[in-house]
């Protein structure tokens, strides 16, 4: 079983020469086969948590720890984290002009596995994954994220996830900008990976709509850089009905 442990994590960013702290003591444990949904208002630090786990250089870890199966994630480079089994689906995937989706994915898989997949197996695996995400075969020859719609970018992120088979996947607002049909296809892709692997998932979102398709085991409310409430799927239903206002007010008065 794989376990990602985050303990008393404090993270900040440079703000005019001073460090502005965004995460203020996050504690979270994610195991294999679990889906954890982090929900909260804009600016609460949800994406900061995702990028801190992935090792984005913009974010400075002030204190605390992140461990994957006991190994110190904070001591790893970004590529070492990927090889260890961490995966981040970004809210705003970047364009990579001049690099085809097929070449990008095969290079990524080679880097993570330490060896290139045999070409005949690779073509079959990629075609099967694209079919499951309702992606046209011509998509493989397009430049990475260049001219992609929001839905295409998110499908490409889930395509990466399926082919890389990570131990822990962090999905940062995967539902952002998706219409209902694209949301269903992307969610089906995530669920397919869940069913065929032991991946643990950290799903970051503002809204409950994606949780109708990807069922969480645990829901965490994130406000002012920390988890202020935890529960099961019923907590998401409460947030849908009541919003975040009472949690924001409680954090402000703490």
Per-residue pLDDT of the chain (254 residues; tens, 9 = 90+): 899 999 999 999 988 889 999 999 999 999 999 999 999 998 899 999 999 999 999 999 999 999 999 999 999 999 999 999 999 998 778 888 999 999 999 999 998 888 999 988 888 988 988 888 778 888 899 999 988 888 888 888 889 999 999 999 999 988 887 888 888 888 988 998 888 889 999 999 988 889 999 999 999 999 999 999 999 999 999 998 888 988 888 877 76
Contact of 157 with 90, CB cutoff 8 Å: yes
pLDDT of residue 254: 65
CB neighbour list of residue 40: distance below 8 Å, 6 or more residues apart: 46, 206, 221, 222, 223, 244, 247
Task: Give yes or no for a contact between 170 and 88, defined as CB atoms under 8 angstroms apart.
Answer: yes
Domain 3-93+151-253 has CATH 3.40.50.300: yes
pLDDT for the residue numbered 174: 86
Let me know how many helices (H) and strands (E) the chain has, helices first: 8, 12
- Secondary structure element (H or E) that encloses residue 205, with its range: strand 200-205
pLDDT of residue 230: 96
């Amino acid at each position: 079983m794989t376990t990602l442990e985050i303990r008393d994590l404090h993270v900040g960013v440079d703000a005019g020469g001073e460090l502005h702290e965004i995460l203020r003591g996050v504690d979270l444990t994610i195991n294999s086969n679990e889906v954890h949904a982090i929900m909260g208002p804009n600016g609460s630090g949800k994406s900061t948590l995702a990028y801190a786990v992935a090792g984005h250089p913009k974010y400075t870890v002030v204190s605390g720890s992140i461990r994957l199966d006991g190994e110190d994630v904070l001591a790893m480079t970004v590529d070492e984290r990927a090889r260890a089994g961490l995966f981040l689906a970004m809210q705003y995937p970047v364009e990579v002009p001049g690099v085809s989706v097929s070449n990008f994915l095969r290079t990524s898989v080679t880097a993570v596995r330490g060896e290139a997949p045999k070409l005949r197996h690779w073509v079959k695996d990629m075609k099967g994954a694209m079919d499951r995400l309702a992606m046209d075969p011509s998509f493989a020859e397009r430049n990475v994220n260049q001219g992609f719609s929001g839905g295409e970018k998110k499908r490409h992120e889930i395509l990466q996830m399926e082919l890389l088979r990570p131990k822990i996947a962090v999905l940062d607002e995967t539902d952002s900008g998706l219409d209902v049909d694209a949301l269903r296809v992307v969610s089906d892709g995530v669920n397919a990976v869940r069913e065929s692997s032991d991946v643990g998932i950290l799903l970051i979102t503002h809204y409950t709509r994606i949780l109708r398709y990807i069922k969480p085991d645990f829901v965490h409310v994130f406000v002012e850089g920390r988890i202020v409430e935890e529960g099961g799927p019923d907590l998401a239903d409460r947030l849908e009905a009541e919003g975040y206002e009472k949690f924001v007010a409680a954090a402000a008065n703490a």
